[in-house]
A and B are shown apart, each in its own frame.
Chain A
Amino acid sequence: MSEELKVPIMADCFAAEKQPEILFWVGSAGSFDDRAKKITRAFVKILNKANVDFAVLGTEESCTGDIAKRAGNEFLFQMQAVTNIEVMNAYGVKRIVTCDPHSFNCLKNEYPSLGGKYEVLHHTQFIDELIKSGRLKVDGNTYKGKRITFHDPCYLGRSNNEYDAPRNVLANTKATIVEMKRNKQTALCCGAGGAQMFKEPEKGAMDINILRTEDALETSPSIIATGCPYCNTMLTDGIKNKEKETEVSVLDIAELIANS
């Protein structure tokens, strides 16, 4: 991407005695995973376009500890949490947005009792808010005639009951939105949660991401929309496995909106 992104850093804002409206929690996947980095850049493009006064922690950000917690390592999780909370509290962070539902769930639900009390938003909720308040205009023509199906990330949907925000955002494109047979409360996991992303699956008949990809392909979509970097990886792999990568693309909602 050649486009110049404006990415203010919290430490610089602090030095300049400025308090950004919102902290963008990039997360480990968003910082290091090649596919997820594109989502991060797309979301920043949206933030820039809507003139959002935000900042990132940059090198002061560390893993939320979410994956360690799901794997059973409560020690490591709490060490990470306490470290991050110390940094964020020092900067007086009030509001956080993140593109990763796992970070979203962890920061929103599991940080408060350890001293980190913030308002935490998933990026689809924030984009929905930007559109509704008129700060962001979406030109839906890019997706005219396309069929989009949305895969609910477990940690946004079932875990936190947010099914509407991503669908509200998608409604702004002029695409046809189609639901998979398993959606919202009954959406099938992509297979990455609970630290599965970092290990080989147990012995079984098939991989979970393949089954979920089949769910998605049943809707004959041109785009599978997601709101999670891990779901994105799993479904992209699924599409490759089904040799459908020329017909179907897997895109984050941030990418869909940034490109419209």
Chain B
Amino acid sequence: MQYIPNILFLLLLAGGVGYFTMNIRKLIRNINLGLDVDRTDQKNVRLKNMAKIALGQTKMVRRPIAGLLHIVVYVGFLIINIEVLEIIIDGLFGTHRIFAPLGKVYNILIGSFEILALLVLVAIVAFWIRRNVIKIKRFLSAEMTGWPKSDGNNILYFEVVLMLLFLTMNAADYKLQLLDAAHYVKAGAFPVSSWMIMPLIDSLSESALIIVERSAWWLHIAGILIFLNYLYFSKHLHILLAFPNTYFAKLTPNGQFTNLESVTNEVKLMMDPDADPFAAPDPTTETEEVAKFGASDVMDLNWVQLMNSYTCTECGRCTSECPANLTGKKLSPRKIMMDTRDRLEEVGKNIDANNGEFKDDGKQLLGDYITPEELWACTTCNACVETCPVSIDPLSIINEMRRYLVMEESAAPTELNNMMSNIENNGAPWPYNQMDRLNWVKE
């Protein structure tokens, strides 16, 4: 009988971690639906970027208020999780405050967790006010209604509850220590819970305090496991994916677009006077199926672009700096990322429902999620790429989809078709003769 709590804890932990692992495997499978792209070069630069941008939050603080608040929550969350380690050990082995023998160090640890918890609470209140009272514009865009809107608040409520449970647990524990209750070792420092929570439970009896302490303890760890599992269904995956995402981000200059290799091969063939267009394909070279130019669906994007979509936390800094969006056009780089993720999730569910095979559902990213009107509004100015705090590249997706529109569908706006036929015919986007290229000298 005495092992029932331990067994319950083990089941809870296994269930929480197991379900999370299952979803993460699904996430990795979905990301791998993307095309291959080699991002294994320059490991040192990549590590440095990850350390600077993800760990060091250098891009977050470009907006100082949001940046600082975010650092508080981030550091708080990261450090308070050391406490989770103790909770897990206690839970599994039926111990109480197993790290207590650390003595002074333990007091400092618990004390600083408490201070951080308070700071996190303050930051979260500020975040909530920014979202719901001040109503900062980027949180109110067209794509931020329904689930994305409540998701943003849910996370905040979650964190408040977790922090309060942590402090309640400590307050009750401290009170029990003062009452010399059995099993409650005298350990820890409680600079926050002693004044914030303790007065509320001061009059409770020892047995009632034990109930409070145990409930808060169990709810806290259960809450953490629920939070962990909530991640996959929310925009909050960035707390994990920001690291690989900044590591695998493109290292070439922002302005450099990829050169499509499939096109290069065809162009070389066209330009080579010795090439025989009717020659039988060389059997020694790999006979890949005819490549599709550009992207009309998530499978045509590369895996980094798909990972980008899961990493996006919908902060909207991209959209708030997008010249098209600022002037009232439909394009929103954040929506490009959200659409990509939504479609990828849809494809993933389709695969789950059809025994691991994707069955054509008559839908695609282009048209059903992202419209040509959005794509053609982009000025390729790189503002979205430059500002993203976790190195997401919405522009590369926009460009791949334009490629599909132009090269597979011949669906460019008429004026652009005119411009392109001018380039084809006379080597300039305007209808001027190439022989007149030097006329400026004499004008």
Contact = CB atoms under 8 A, between A and B. Distances in A.
A31 B428 contact: yes
A66 to B, nearest CB: 9
B379 interface: yes
Interface of A: 1, 5, 7, 9, 26, 28, 30-33, 37, 40-41, 56, 58-59, 61-63, 65, 67-76, 78-80, 82-83, 105, 108-110, 113-114, 154-155, 158-161, 185-186, 188-189, 191-196, 198-208, 210-212
Contact of A189 (B293, B379, B434): B379
Contacts of A154: 255, 379-383
B441 A7 contact: yes
A58 B402 CA distance: 32
Contacts of B327: 201, 204-208, 210-211
A9 B438 CA distance: 10
Contacts of A203: 328-330, 373
A85 B405 CA distance: 27
A182 B436 CA distance: 39
A76 B424 contact: yes
A202 B324 contact: yes
Q: How large is the interface on B (under 10, 10 to 19, 20 to 34, 35 or more residues)?
A: 35 or more
Q: Which of A5, A70, A72, A114 neighbours the largest number of chain B CB atoms within 10 Å of its CB?
A: A72
B428 A32 contact: yes
A198 B259 contact: no
A204 B267 contact: no
A196 B329 contact: no
A208 B256 contact: no
A63 B427 contact: yes
Given A185-B62, A186-B321, 14 more contacts: A7-B438, A32-B430, A41-B440, A69-B257, A70-B380, A72-B406, A73-B420, A113-B259, A186-B387, A194-B379, A202-B373, A203-B328, A203-B329, A208-B323
Interface string B213-245: 000000000000000000000000000000000
Nearest to B376: A202
Contacts of A31: 428, 432, 436-440
Contacts of B280: none
Chain B interface, DSSP helix/strand/loop, else mixed: helix
B317 to A, nearest CB: 10
20 contacts: A32-B437, A41-B443, A70-B399, A71-B402, A72-B403, A72-B405, A72-B406, A82-B268, A154-B379, A186-B387, A188-B383, A194-B378, A198-B418, A202-B329, A202-B376, A207-B327, A208-B323, A208-B326, A208-B327, A211-B323
Interface of B: 62, 252-257, 259-260, 263-264, 266-268, 270-271, 293-294, 321, 323-324, 326-331, 373, 376-383, 385-387, 399, 402-407, 412-413, 415-416, 418-420, 423-424, 427-430, 432, 434-441, 443
B429 A28 contact: yes
Nearest to A205: B328
A192 B380 CA distance: 9
A169 to B, nearest CB: 21
A59 B267 contact: no
Nearest to A192: B379
Contact of A208 (B266, B324, B413, B436): B324
Given A26-B437, A206-B327, A62 B402 contact: no
A28 B260 contact: no
Given A105-B256, A186-B383, A73 B438 contact: no
A202 B257 contact: no
A230 to B, nearest CB: 10
B133 to A, nearest CB: 25
B381 A193 contact: yes
Contacts of B377: 201-202, 204
Contacts of B415: 198-200
B378 A110 contact: no
A62 B379 contact: no
Nearest to A71: B416
Closest 10 pairs between A and B when the two form their complex, measured CB to CB: A159-B255, A205-B328, A72-B402, A194-B380, A62-B427, A189-B381, A109-B256, A204-B328, A72-B406, A28-B428
Contacts of B418: 198
A200 B321 CA distance: 21
Given A154-B381, A158-B383, A204-B327, A198 B321 contact: no
A161 B424 CA distance: 31
A208 B331 CA distance: 13
B379 A199 contact: no
A110 B253 CA distance: 10
Nearest to A30: B440
Nearest to A28: B428
A41 B412 CA distance: 34
A26 B430 CA distance: 15
A1 B443 contact: yes
Nearest to A44: B441
A185 B386 contact: yes
Contact of B437 (A59, A79, A161, A207): A59
A198 B326 CA distance: 20
Q: Which of A28, A155, A193 neighbours the largest number of chain B CB atoms within 10 Å of its CB?
A: A28
Nearest to B373: A202
Q: Which of B62, B266, B271, B402 neighbours the largest number of chain A CB atoms within 10 Å of its CB?
A: B402
B419 A71 contact: yes
Contact of B430 (A28, A65, A189, A192): A28
Contacts of A212: 323
Contacts of A110: 256-257, 259
A33 B430 CA distance: 9
A31 B329 CA distance: 32
B41 to A, nearest CB: 14
